[in-house]
Amino acid sequence: MNTQKYETVNPFTLFVVFIASAIISLPLRVYQLMTNVEAETGFWIHSDHFTIPIFYAVIALGTILPIVFALLYRKGLGKIEDSGERKIVGGAISFANAAGLIVNAILRYRAFSDIYYTYTNSYMESTLLNYLSKSGGLAMALEAFFAVVSAIFFIMLGIALMTGKDPSEYKILAIMPVFWAVFRILHRFMRKISFMNVSELFLELMMIVFLLMFFMAYAQVTAKVNGKGLEWKLFAYGLPAALFCLLCFVPRVVVLVLGKGAVIAADSSIEIVDLTMAVFVIYALVDRSRIFRMETRRNDGMME
């Protein structure tokens, strides 16, 4: 009988930081898009605007605090065992995320096609491969490919969650979202960026970086490949990833609904996959938090 008690923190308390950061940063970003962000670049119009230091502080705290708390209590957060129960909601969310990835694949394929036909319909001295590499077309094509393969993983994961099946057999598929994130970030590095201005592109890069790190840990934990003790990384990287996903989706949708769609940066369009990823990450962490609390109460009962 395992009666060892771990110094721990209720994982749900980590969501307090996430929720507070989202409540403050999302309306603030909407206001910034409508008043102080260039539509062409996504950069600040006035770098001394009063909302800027507030926005910096909020997203910094929303990023750093989950990492710090998860790291401090990593031993406790690592003692989570899945119950194997059927999870209908989780399966539905996985299917929705697969649909979001399919939409992402279609959008990237269209962008790749535009670049490809530009080359074929124009006289270019460089080779096709060289042109696609420099223009970001190759990265877009690979992003589309891995989006489709990642969608297959989430479909299989959804089926496993709904039936109570162990998804650890999908070891190869589990790593596909990592490759999707890698190629998604590659073509964004080819666009103009200002880290001082915290452009829309910068927020997208932060989103993808944290998604990449989250899915690296999620793949190991789900596939049970050297994943023991890595659960804390799901919280450390997942909460910032969800926050940046929402920052890249919600404000753009709000300004569009308000009839101000012209303020959305040309290269930073609304992508449904940002929302589905946020929902999936939040669900995955809430589910693990629920299992964690049940495990903690069971261990406390044994100690008594």
Give per-residue pLDDT as tens, 88-124: 999 999 999 999 999 999 999 998 888 888 887 777 7
Cα–Cα distance list, 71 to 7, 81, 178, 228, 291 (Å): 12, 19, 22, 15, 19
Q: Which residues, 6 or more positions from 136, have their beta carbon under 8 angstroms from its beta carbon?
A: 115, 186, 187, 190
More confident residue, 217 or 5: 217
pTM: 0.87
Q: Mean pLDDT across the chain, nearest whole number?
A: 84
- Residue range 258-282, pLDDT digits in tens: 998 888 877 788 999 999 999 999 9
Where in the chain are the domains? 11-303
The pLDDT value given to residue 7: 45
Whether the pLDDT of residue 297 is over 70: the answer is no
pLDDT class of 301 with cuts at 50, 70, 90 = very low
- Residue range 23-62, pLDDT digits in tens: 999 999 999 989 888 877 777 788 778 888 899 899 999 9
- Residue range 132-153, pLDDT digits in tens: 887 788 889 999 999 999 999 9
Amino acid at 272: I
Structure tokens at 125: 């001295």
Whether the pLDDT of residue 72 is over 50: the answer is yes
The pLDDT value given to residue 116: 82
- 123 — phi, psi (to 5°)? -85, 115
Beta-strand ranges (E) seen in 204-244 are none
Amino acid at 266: A
Whether the pLDDT of residue 304 is over 60: the answer is no
CA 73 to chain centre: 23
The pLDDT value given to residue 160: 93
